[in-house]
Chains A and B, each alone.
Chain A
Amino acid sequence: MSAATPSGAPRRERGLAYRVWARLAIPLTVTILSALVGAVIILVSELLVTGEPFEWGLALTAYGALLQGALGSPDAIVSTLVNTAPLLFGGLAVAFAFRAGLFNIGVQGQFLLGALGAVLVGVWVADWPPILAIPIATLAAILAGAAWGFIPGFLKAASGAHEVVSTIMLNYIAVALLAALVSGPLKVPGSPSPVTFDVGNAAWPVILGRNGHIGIVLAPLAAVFVWWLLRRTTWGFQVRAVGANPDAARYAGMRTKAITVATMTFSGALGGLAGACVLLGVTHTMTSSFGTTVGFDSIAVALLAASEPLLVIPAALLFGGMRAGAGLMQIKAGIPVELVDVLQAVILLFLVARPVLRRLLRLNTVPDEPATPRATTMVPEVPV
């Protein structure tokens, strides 16, 4: 949102009302349209699939329950925050890589590795004093995630292997690794199902309500840190320069390959933190089916936030709230929680189709084009 006052803006005489409208029109329209599409999906699937008596109010019931589950009570709000924290870390991971023109679809894998690192070390330090155990387990998660981010970064720099394919493959490898470790060396001996020991003292302390762990404060701080990193440091400038135009960055003497590797590693570290956030903050143990939708939600969060670190906070809140409320929606309206995935995708679709909306709404100014890196292609980086 850096383009608040476009240089030589010709529409200044249009007045405050128009400018407010121009700024809010797209988010508002996207929200309303997505809710409408969601309602249509609910009603149509109700009509065609379940065969239960048709009621128009079902969509309203569902959305009401969704809102209630996300914001309806202090517990619900804490739940929203707890769901938001990993999305914030993950969203920052995607957003940061995106600023360097790298598409990190592998947050899911980095998330799993982070959780794996956290439980591996967390169980080991479970009896240590918390002041030591917590940072050590968290650091393990960061390192594990960073390692999983380093691999595609290194491959991209060394051979030009496109990070989209390699990160997706690493997601599947992470799932296999996790299953092998949790049902093998990490398994509690004698336990009927594959589950690890509790991380004990390494668990993140609860600071709000019944389960509002410290991650709900750390995650927004991380957003500010990433913003600072991108905007106020030399490295952040280089990251943005490589994202805006890698050739220009190279001619300017920047070591684009080193920046690529470092960016993916840092992005992976943030993904690992998302894993720590869920494992050390919420579950405290790991089962062989450990895994959530955090990785893919993170991509949605970063796209919604146009890769702007501070905007990641509201975007993560939106999707975190939807995740928090989905359970109540399923109980009260019988709508599967997967509806949230659909809604996310619909929101993103409308967001990408922004030019059409803008034409329909007769918005001629372009107040908030997001900083999309130039076309990331399958073309390997060949030195010119």
Chain B
Amino acid sequence: MDLAPLMDSLYAIPLLGIVFQAIGYMVDVIPSNGSNILNQATPLALAALCGVVCERSGVVNIGIEGTMLISAFTAWVVGIAINPMFGNPVPGEVFGATIPLVICVVAAVAAAIVVSALHAWLSISLRANQIISGTIINIFAFGVTGYLDQLISKSSPASAGSFMAFTPPEALVTLPVVGWIFEMFLYQGPIAMSTIILVVGLQVWLFRSRWGLRTRAVGEHPRAAETVGIDVLRLRFRNVLIGGVFAGLAGAWLTIEATNSFQIGMTAGRGFIALAAMIMGRWTPLGAFGSAILFAVFVQLSQLIKIAPPQGDLGSIMGSVPAQLWDALPYILTIVILAGVVGRSVPPAADGVPYERESAA
């Protein structure tokens, strides 16, 4: 079936034609970039999961950005340090995984848990303002990774190595209509692929398990939760540490899955965009994942428009916008979504309020 004449006549309508062109462009590029989009959504989704686990129990974590940065740096540094110890192993069969890379991931998660413990201690135990605590973590992370990066790059380090994407069978990817979906989900590195499992797992855990019920109770009404015997402070502490696991994975993705290097400030606001994704996803793992995908679509579009702009009027309009401005697209979208959605998206009632035990009050 040849749609070209129909499309041409639709495109010729002023204004409405632009809309058709935009839709046509998205239909054209999004499926073919599916795996890139899911890949870009990975750190956002993982960081948003961190936010969900923390905020569902009542702790606002603005420091996700810094936590990611530190764990990204840790994964990279550990890789550089231990690769020679294992005699620079050849990439493995699956995901190009090697023992050092697995250790890198573990180290990144451990680092993120340590940073999260700091946030938990400051904001739960000391009842410091949670936003101040998170901000300090961000400043600290930016400083300490920048400082160490400067020191390390003096000695021009070797590569840390990185995971490779799984290559799905040719027959599956080339299937008509649904092939791109298989490619999207299967042509991925290990962290990106496990993200989907983590999202679903956390969704079930949060809404179907005892821990989930307790978490939500503590986030909504900690006083009531404590009267039925839940240790509010301990549960919050534990949840912030669990959140650290997700932030650590997001950080590891940055340095040993998406790239093979570390740059100062490479998180580029992803920790904050993730918070917007969490809000838009109404503090649920699945919702946050969906929003993360939406953000990733726009991250991808902002790059694609520069490389392969659409044809016709739309292309000439887009071409007249300076290339640098397209980089701002995901950030603008974040603000728009935050402003449009937040009023209808209700956070946990005790979110951000430090809890004081009845006896101590």
B132 touches A303 (CB 8 A): yes
Report which residue of A161, A353, A372, A380 has the largest number of chain B beta carbons within 10 angstroms of its beta carbon.
Answer: A161
B328 touches A176 (CB 8 A): yes
B155 to chain A, nearest CB (A): 7
- Bound complex: CA A129 to CA B206 (Å): 67
Confirm or deny: A342 has a beta carbon within 8 angstroms of a beta carbon on chain B: yes
Given known A-B contacts A341-B142, A344-B139, A375 and B150 have beta carbons under 8 A apart: no
Confirm or deny: A135 has a beta carbon within 8 angstroms of a beta carbon on chain B: no
- Bound complex: CA A356 to CA B353 (Å): 20
Interface size on A, residues (CB 8 A): 58
Confirm or deny: A136 has a beta carbon within 8 angstroms of a beta carbon on chain B: no
Q: Which residues of the other chain, A, contact B32 by a CB distance below 8 angstroms?
A: none
A176 touches B325 (CB 8 A): yes
B347 touches A378 (CB 8 A): yes
B245-298 contacts to A (CB < 8 Å)? 268-269, 272-273, 275-276, 279
Given known A-B contacts A172-B269, A173-B328, A372-B129, A296 and B122 have beta carbons under 8 A apart: no
B161-215 contacts to A (CB < 8 Å)? none
Confirm or deny: A76 has a beta carbon within 8 angstroms of a beta carbon on chain B: no
- Bound complex: CA A173 to CA B276 (Å): 16
Given known A-B contacts A180-B324, A346-B140, A378-B279, A356 and B269 have beta carbons under 8 A apart: no
Interface segment, B228-236, B305-313, B334-342? B334-342
Q: Which residues of the other chain, B, contact A168 by a CB distance below 8 angstroms?
A: 269, 272
Confirm or deny: A164 has a beta carbon within 8 angstroms of a beta carbon on chain B: yes
A269 to chain B, nearest CB (A): 20
A169 touches B272 (CB 8 A): yes
- Bound complex: CA A22 to CA B172 (Å): 72
- Bound complex: CA A358 to CA B347 (Å): 35
Confirm or deny: A158 has a beta carbon within 8 angstroms of a beta carbon on chain B: yes
Confirm or deny: A284 has a beta carbon within 8 angstroms of a beta carbon on chain B: no
- Bound complex: CA A348 to CA B144 (Å): 14
Q: Which residues of the other chain, A, contact B146 by a CB distance below 8 angstroms?
A: 336, 338, 341
B108-149 contacts to A (CB < 8 Å)? 118, 122, 126, 128-133, 135-136, 139-140, 142-144, 146-149
A165 touches B353 (CB 8 A): no
B353 touches A375 (CB 8 A): yes
- Interface residues as binary, A312-356 with B (CB distance below 8 Å gives 1, 0 otherwise): 000000000000000000000000101111111110110011011
From the candidates B142, B152, B272, B353, name the one contacting A296 in the complex (CB within 8 A): B142
B139 touches A296 (CB 8 A): yes
- Bound complex: CA A356 to CA B118 (Å): 14
A176 touches B324 (CB 8 A): yes
Confirm or deny: B12 has a beta carbon within 8 angstroms of a beta carbon on chain A: no
Interface segment, A45-53, A66-74, A196-204? A45-53
A260 to chain B, nearest CB (A): 14
B328 touches A355 (CB 8 A): no
From the candidates B126, B276, B332, B343, name the one contacting A356 in the complex (CB within 8 A): B126
From the candidates A296, A303, A375, A380, name the one contacting B354 in the complex (CB within 8 A): A375
From the candidates A155, A176, A353, A375, name the one contacting B129 in the complex (CB within 8 A): A375
From the candidates A160, A181, A349, A355, name the one contacting B343 in the complex (CB within 8 A): A160
Q: How large is the interface on B (under 10, 10 to 19, 20 to 34, 35 or more residues)?
A: 35 or more
B322 touches A180 (CB 8 A): yes
Q: Give the A-B pair count, Cβ closer than 8 A.
A: 175
From the candidates B143, B276, B332, B353, name the one contacting A338 in the complex (CB within 8 A): B143
- Bound complex: CA A260 to CA B152 (Å): 45
Q: Which residues of the other chain, A, contact B332 by a CB distance below 8 angstroms?
A: 169, 173
Confirm or deny: B55 has a beta carbon within 8 angstroms of a beta carbon on chain A: yes
A71 to chain B, nearest CB (A): 22
- Bound complex: CA A345 to CA B134 (Å): 11
B343 touches A377 (CB 8 A): no
Confirm or deny: B43 has a beta carbon within 8 angstroms of a beta carbon on chain A: no
Given known A-B contacts A162-B338, A376-B352, A378-B352, A355 and B151 have beta carbons under 8 A apart: no
- Bound complex: CA A162 to CA B152 (Å): 37
Q: Which residues of the other chain, A, contact B335 by a CB distance below 8 angstroms?
A: 151, 155, 161, 165-166, 169-170, 173
Report which residue of A183, A341, A377 has the largest number of chain B beta carbons within 10 angstroms of its beta carbon.
Answer: A377
A349 touches B136 (CB 8 A): yes
Q: Please give me the residue from chain B that is nearest to A377 by CB atom.
A: B352
B322 touches A345 (CB 8 A): no
Q: Which residues of the other chain, A, contact B155 by a CB distance below 8 angstroms?
A: 49-51
B126 to chain A, nearest CB (A): 5
Q: Which residues of the other chain, A, contact B324 by a CB distance below 8 angstroms?
A: 176-177, 179-180, 183-184
- Bound complex: CA A352 to CA B353 (Å): 16
B89 to chain A, nearest CB (A): 23
- Bound complex: CA A172 to CA B140 (Å): 20
Given known A-B contacts A180-B324, A352-B122, A378-B60, A173 and B353 have beta carbons under 8 A apart: no
Q: Please give me the residue from chain B that is nearest to A152 by CB atom.
A: B335
From the candidates B62, B269, B342, name the one contacting A169 in the complex (CB within 8 A): B269
A132-173 contacts to B (CB < 8 Å)? 151, 155, 158-162, 164-166, 168-173
Q: Which residues of the other chain, B, contact A339 by a CB distance below 8 angstroms?
A: 143, 147
**7 additional A-B residue pairs with CB within 8 Å, beyond A179-B327, A344-B139, A349-B122:** A50-B154, A166-B338, A169-B338, A183-B322, A299-B139, A352-B128, A355-B126
Residues of B within 8 A of A (CB): 55, 60, 62, 118, 122, 126, 128-133, 135-136, 139-140, 142-144, 146-152, 154-155, 268-269, 272-273, 275-276, 279, 322-325, 327-328, 331-332, 334-335, 338-340, 342-343, 347, 351-354
The 15 listed contacts between A and B (C-beta, < 8 Å) are: A161-B339, A161-B342, A166-B335, A168-B272, A179-B327, A303-B135, A341-B146, A342-B144, A345-B140, A345-B143, A349-B122, A349-B140, A352-B136, A372-B132, A378-B279
